[in-house]
Amino acid sequence: MRALAVLLALCLLALAMILLPQPAHAGTFAVFQERFEGDWPGPWLVGDDNLSAGADYWGVTTHRDSQGQKSAWAAQEGTNNKTGLPNALNHRQDDSMDAYMRVDLGDLSGNNALSLSLEYWIESGSGDVFSVRVSDGQTWTTVWSLPGPVAQGWTPAETPLPLSTRFLEFRYLTAASHVDEYEGVYVDRVEVLAEDANPPSLAILSPIHDQWTGSKDVVVTWETVDTGSGIAFVEVRIDGGFWVNMGLATSLLVQGLAEGLHALDVRSVDKAGNQALQSIDFGVDVTSPSIVLLGPPEGSVVTSSSVELTWTAGDSVSGIAYYEVRLDSGPWMRVEPVDSFVLTGVADGSRRVTVRVVDLAGNGAETSLAFRVNTNPLHPEGPAHGALLYALVTAGALGLLVLLHRKGKVDLGKPWSRIKTLFLRRGPKGGKSS
Ligand SMILES: [Ca+2]
Ligand SMILES: [Ca+2]
Ligand SMILES: [Ca+2]
Ligand SMILES: [Ca+2]
């Protein structure tokens, strides 16, 4: 029954995943915005490519606006070809204008789509053309144009731009006969939108996934790169808590972490809202392991050049990684996690052995003990405990006594007679008589 319910729930979930719209990853963001309310010309480059009626070109005016108080008018700069008075005095375009205003949008590569939106106000005649052009830095292309005659109030327009777009230009061309006839064109609310469907790349550089660290203070570092809109901000979260907005920083010092395992999430968000998430686990262990040497006993004499060391050790939190053994001031020898080790070729004399234990976080502890090695068979401490030496000394002494006895210098008395009878039996005394 329960299995059936689980199966039904899974089927419903699968159905919901098919029917529900998948979340859109693509995001649209503004690459460039201009309301003509600030400093002029700002980033714009302005000019007139037809100087036969003088230089007449774009500038900012308060005469008309779509948003705010100002807009850009194609004949704001320059003088009337008939009167020599400023165009702005009667708000009339001049003849023979080829006025442009141009802006560098920067590197827009890596985006999935680009578009332009604007609002314009126009009153123009036959032969006048208002157009939008873009360039990749090499070639200019007209992407939108409005040939005269037109007369209308503020009107929105929108056009896609090639992905290679780098420069944007508004151009207003007037016929040679159109001095004073029309008001021309105004532009406001210019916006270039980019669509970035590519999430950033993201890598947590430290701490390392599944590794232990021996400090409660951990430096989290990451690397994130985005194509398209660029990184908006990075967020960091420890153990599923609150996301902390790190802006464009690339590291965070997390202090006072508890011992044990932790979960780390780093999220990078680009300006179009695309996200990249990376999660790792790491551990904190600041508790050193413990170790006790069991053998050989402290101060003991070892009668072999092979010395077996035994110990017992333990570690809380991360566990033991390995041991190291050192004889006197010699090099450390790494020993995998076992609890004994045989030192071979140990020379006679007083020796000190040190054993170090290291846990997975790199915390270490060590202990040492002294012992003596004596492999001399003649030495009382040696392997035969001096038995050979005693035997040699005794045999030598006996031989000397017998020699002295024979030469009459020592009388070994009755005990000697008995020994002689028993062990040194010779022919009968006075054998000459027979
Ligand atoms: Ca002029
Ligand atoms: Ca404006
Ligand atoms: Ca992106
Ligand atoms: Ca530990």
User: What is the CA(156)–ligand 2 centre distance, in A?
Assistant: 13
d(CA 211, CA 262): 10
Pick the CATH number of 201-284 from 3.40.190.290, 1.20.1280.290, 1.10.3720.10, 2.60.40.10: 2.60.40.10
User: What is the CA(36)–ligand 2 centre distance, in A?
Assistant: 5
Ligand number nearest to the C-alpha of 289: 4
User: What is the CA(18)–ligand 2 centre distance, in A?
Assistant: 46
d(CA 290, CA 317): 12
Segment 16-43, tens digit of pLDDT: 444 443 333 458 899 999 999 999 999 9
More confident residue, 15 or 232: 232
User: What is the CA(187)–ligand 2 centre distance, in A?
Assistant: 8
| Alpha-carbon torsion, ordered 323, 326, 327, 329, to 10 deg | -170
24-195 against 290-373: fold identical:
no
Mean pLDDT of 175-180: 90
Ligand number nearest to the C-alpha of 213: 4
User: What is the CA(184)–ligand 1 centre distance, in A?
Assistant: 13
Residues around ligand 4, an ion, CB closer than 5 A? 285, 287, 315, 317-318, 359
Ligand number nearest to the C-alpha of 97: 1
Across the chain, which distance is largest between two alpha carbons, in Å? 181
| pTM score | 0.64
User: Which residues are 187's β-sheet partners?
Assistant: 72, 120
Segment 280-335, tens digit of pLDDT: 999 999 999 999 999 899 999 999 999 999 999 999 999 999 999 999 999 999 99
More confident residue, 395 or 26: 395
pLDDT band, very low/low/confident/very high, at 387 (cuts 50, 70, 90): low
User: What is the CA(278)–ligand 4 centre distance, in A?
Assistant: 27
Strand order in the sheet with 307-314: 290-295, 307-314, 340-343
Mean pLDDT of 53-73: 95
User: What is the CA(154)–ligand 2 centre distance, in A?
Assistant: 12
User: What is the CA(74)–ligand 1 centre distance, in A?
Assistant: 12
Mean pLDDT of the chain: 88
pLDDT band, very low/low/confident/very high, at 388 (cuts 50, 70, 90): low
* Fold type of domain 24-195: Jelly Rolls (2.60.120)
Q: Where are the domains of the chain?
A: 24-195, 201-284, 290-373, 387-423
Residues around ligand 2, an ion, CB closer than 5 A? 35-36, 65, 67-68, 70-71, 188
User: What is the CA(201)–ligand 3 centre distance, in A?
Assistant: 9
User: What is the CA(214)–ligand 4 centre distance, in A?
Assistant: 8
pLDDT beyond 70 at 414: no
CATH class of the 290-373 domain in this structure: mainly beta
User: What is the CA(90)–ligand 1 centre distance, in A?
Assistant: 13
Ligand number nearest to the C-alpha of 360: 4
d(CA 407, CA 399): 13
User: What is the CA(92)–ligand 1 centre distance, in A?
Assistant: 10
Ligand number nearest to the C-alpha of 78: 1
